[in-house]
């Protein structure tokens, strides 16, 4: 078994460092850097995968992208029963739904909210601003309500779905939008307090770039 993670700072690839630290399995890491002008990945990451996206993970000789798929695959093939929900188990459908929800539903409105100021602000496009703002509110309220009385997304405990979710909540927390959503806020704090998360930050740097 060989696992090589191609890591880009301030990106979703920190999720995979965290996962590998949680699973306590061996891996190597190759760090890549963003272009200082465009903030985009550079040619060395495009040499690994045609899309130049992070994370890109070479698992047993095949390069994978898409952090959710990488999380699921590593858990299923190298997790030794940890952090996943196997077919036939009670929360299997919930596990898959939350794994897909993060990038399939939550990510786009959150990222538009975060990136809007870089492009002059969403207020210049009021119809888009209204749609995006409404979606973010609805989705964060949904996550907050789901976490009422729960420690993690699933009753059975911490899973890869929580690792996938944390990145977006950490991003949106920068806007203050979790301050009025105490369940999501305390959930994020629990995730960031995990030892493997802290090791991931030590290894790969902060997951999100703080303003200033």
Residue 73's CATH number: 3.40.30.10
pLDDT at 1: 66
- Would residue 78 count as lying in a domain? yes
Strands (DSSP E) contained in the chain are: 3-8, 28-32, 56-59, 62-64
- Would residue 172 count as lying in a domain? yes
Same domain for 169 and 101: yes
pLDDT per position as a tens digit, 148-164? 999 999 999 999 999 99
73's tokens? 């695959």
- Would residue 211 count as lying in a domain? no
- Would residue 127 count as lying in a domain? yes
Same domain for 183 and 143: yes
Q: Distance between CA atoms of 66 and 85, rounded to whole angstroms?
A: 19
Same domain for 167 and 120: yes
Same domain for 79 and 98: no
Range of the structural domain that residue 28 is part of = 3-84+197-204
- Would residue 146 count as lying in a domain? yes
Q: Distance between CA atoms of 167 and 10, rounded to whole angstroms?
A: 10
- Would residue 118 count as lying in a domain? yes
pLDDT string in tens for the chain (212-residue length): 689 999 988 888 999 999 999 999 999 999 988 776 766 667 788 888 998 888 999 998 899 999 999 999 999 999 999 999 999 999 999 999 999 999 999 998 888 776 655 555 556 555 545 556 688 899 999 999 999 999 999 999 999 999 999 999 999 999 899 999 999 999 999 999 999 999 999 999 887 776 55
Domain count of the fold of the chain: 2
Same domain for 143 and 190: yes
- Would residue 210 count as lying in a domain? no
Q: Distance between CA atoms of 32 and 20, rounded to whole angstroms?
A: 18
pLDDT at 43: 79
pLDDT at 115: 64
Residue 171's CATH number: 1.20.1050.10
Same domain for 98 and 55: no
Same domain for 102 and 62: no
pLDDT at 126: 55
- Would residue 154 count as lying in a domain? yes
pLDDT per position as a tens digit, 1-19? 689 999 988 888 999 999 9
Same domain for 113 and 64: no
Pair type for strands 28-32 and 3-8: parallel
Same domain for 131 and 40: no
| pTM of the predicted model as reported, rounded to 2 decimal places | 0.90
Same domain for 103 and 41: no
pLDDT at 135: 84
Same domain for 171 and 99: yes
Partner residues linked to 5 by β-bridges: 29, 57
Same domain for 103 and 46: no
- CA end-to-end span of the chain, whole Å? 41
């Amino acid at each position: 078994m060989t696992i090589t993670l191609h890591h880009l700072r301030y990106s979703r690839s920190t999720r995979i460092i965290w996962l590998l630290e949680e699973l306590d399995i061996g891996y190597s890491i190759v760090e890549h850097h963003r272009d200082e002008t465009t903030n985009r990945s550079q040619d060395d990451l495009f040499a690994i995968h045609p899309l130049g996206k992070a994370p890109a993970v070479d698992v047993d000789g095949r390069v994978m992208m898409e952090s959710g798929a990488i999380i699921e695959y590593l858990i299923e093939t190298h997790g030794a029963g940890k952090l996943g929900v196997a077919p036939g188990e009670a929360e299997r459908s919930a596990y898959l739904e939350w794994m897909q929800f993060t990038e399939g539903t939550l990510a786009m409105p959150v990222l538009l909210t975060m990136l809007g100021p870089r492009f002059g602000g969403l207020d210049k496009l009021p119809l888009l601003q209204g749609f995006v703002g409404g979606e973010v509110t609805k989705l964060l309220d949904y996550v907050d309500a789901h976490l009422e009385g729960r420690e993690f997304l699933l009753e059975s405990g911490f899973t890869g779905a929580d690792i996938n979710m944390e990145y977006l909540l950490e991003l949106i927390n920068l806007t203050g939008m979790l301050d009025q959503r105490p369940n999501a806020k305390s959930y994020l704090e629990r995730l960031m307090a995990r030892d493997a998360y802290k090791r991931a930050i030590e290894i790969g740097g902060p997951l999100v770039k703080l303003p200033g």
